[in-house]
A and B are shown apart, each in its own frame.
Chain A
């Protein structure tokens, strides 16, 4: 067994590969999540612009893709410009997109008859620099199709997000297949953030976010609070260990 190669040579090789990969790209910019533990583990310190990203829901969410759609909406809400949302099933509820920071004036919907139509519409959208990004809801995503989208995104510099969603939970195994996407995420719902014991109701939703695959990066998972009205994620603050807020006990009712 030969000795491990010196890190200098490895670094030079990495730079070379990166230069080769970046030939066609218009941008190497990233969109940070604004969540420290998330951003430090992503290459470049955020979600790459000009790239294809896959998002799927965990367990039953593979059928509904509700968390995945909200995660995608939260990302694009923080980008500049309009969004093209391509889909086959028209069950996305627009008020919820507005609550994630994507108001009606920022989203154009395109209904396609089949998945090929969704992919074609996504690719068309990626040619228009006025868009912040393109979302497509698809089940199958072949290597060829994802490669085309990845190349189109590289040329245009927008974010392309494939929200993976299947008709049967068994089909969700398809997520293991390789694609040309830059990252692959899985978002599963967790019990919401606890409220004080005397307060009934549902707290801020929480997600279990897994980065399953990442080019030039490593997989990890993290527990987060779901995106707010501006699309920002947040680290959950464990209620028990939270420092008392400065004005605790001084709240006054105004009638």
Chain B
């Protein structure tokens, strides 16, 4: 139920599933939890305890499908390796992905923000292992939990045994001799534990602490063009990996060609013999299916892939492929004498793969008079709109992102200083141009309402030209601190 049909958050709602032949509560909302109900309780019991309880039948199939859709969404945005963690979670392999968002915490904040926009409340945790992150997301009572590498043991100690992804019977069986927390279980000798409860608790314990590897089997959208290869013998040598990666790319491009699609993203997964999945992703600025170029880009990513003791399966997929018509450009440019290609998307992609997606860009004009706000980054593959900076005002070639304070011998409000000292050198001003008065943008921040700056171009005796400014108009203290700063150097 969505939109106006949705009940208010205060209405207690439970989802009714079946445990054996009993109709019991499978999930419930916060309002229902407050009335004292618990998951697994018989429905007859629950309706007696909480009058006005709204019951819905569990649609397990629908839930699974929705979770899968969510996983595909997360895969597009965050990492190639994403899988549903039923019944109510997602698991994302964030290795090497978090830095794209400015760190692990920022990545979690971003996930939470986007989910909230879509109407999902989420608990998030990031840790060294799937099991650990699973437990902390569900049982730590913190909406956002970042465990630094190696700090997992301490955090898991006080969580209940149920956090270990064990079947309810095992949890109950463990509770009888008094095992309530993971810490207690961890402190017990493993031999007798296995003897009594089987290997499952120990395996889950090891997985949670990251002692046992647990591969994340990524989701695939049904129509995603894909190519896979299973190796009889694990391969590990870089040249061998590159060779098969190239072969698979050719196969993938043939699939794309048959569908008249072009890849925007290509994900590669390397299934290692020690139960780990390494992944790599390349992004393309324009849809492409030129196997030679794509294979080259993918092979550049290979140096970040650790094959361990060997890789026994390799999968390539092109999620979100876009229509790409046939063209004769390639033929023409190969003839040599033909028109020279002016398409730079290949160069842009290569540099993006090598230096990072944010490191390749254009600088376009933004509509602001404040110099540091007048420039914005735009994607390198797009041609920015024609709005441009003023041509009549001098602009320095080097612009200091952090203006440096200078000592001045300044005279009148409308005059540039007679001399100034910057980086320990005193310079006498011989000529000057200005002031160019720039006002604060009050629509961005209240503090800027009265502010202004006066920019001057000054030239010293040697002919060096600098861009300096005074914070304020030189008279009114409300307009700024009246101190002088070095903003840039002219060429």
Contact = CB atoms under 8 A, between A and B. Distances in A.
B362 A109 contact: yes
B489 A64 contact: yes
A77 interface: no
Interface string A34-65: 00000000000000000000000001110011
Contact of B398 (A64, A200, A206): A64
A113 B395 CA distance: 27
A111 B355 contact: yes
A95 interface: yes
B374 A95 contact: yes
B491 A226 contact: yes
Contact of A128 (B344, B354, B398, B399): B344
Nearest to B432: A202
Contacts of B431: 191-192, 200-203
A67 B375 contact: no
Interface in A98-156: 98-100, 103-105, 107-113, 117, 120-121, 124-125, 127-131
Q: Point out which of A95, A97, A110, A131 has the most chain B C-beta atoms below 10 A from its C-beta.
A: A95
B340 A66 contact: no
A81 B363 contact: no
B433 A202 contact: yes
A11 interface: no
B376 to A, nearest CB: 9
Interface string B450-491: 000000011101111100000000000000000000001111
Given A96-B395, A124-B351, A107 B363 contact: yes
B144 to A, nearest CB: 30
B221 interface: no
A104 B491 contact: no
A57 to B, nearest CB: 9
A125 B354 CA distance: 13
A100 to B, nearest CB: 8
Given A189-B463, A189-B465, A200-B432, A66 B491 contact: yes
Contact of A105 (B375, B384, B401, B433): B384
B380 A94 contact: no
Contacts of B347: 84, 108, 124-125, 127-128, 130-131
28 contacts: A66-B398, A66-B491, A70-B397, A82-B344, A91-B398, A91-B401, A93-B396, A93-B397, A94-B363, A94-B375, A94-B389, A95-B375, A96-B396, A96-B399, A104-B362, A104-B364, A109-B380, A110-B355, A120-B354, A121-B355, A124-B351, A125-B351, A129-B341, A130-B341, A189-B462, A189-B464, A189-B490, A229-B391
Interface of B: 340-344, 346-348, 350-351, 354-355, 359-365, 371, 374-375, 378, 380, 383-384, 388-389, 391, 394-401, 430-433, 457-459, 461-465, 488-491
Given A64-B398, A66-B491, A189-B462, 18 more contacts: A59-B462, A66-B397, A67-B491, A69-B397, A93-B396, A94-B375, A95-B371, A99-B391, A99-B395, A105-B362, A107-B363, A108-B380, A124-B350, A130-B347, A189-B491, A192-B431, A202-B459, A205-B490
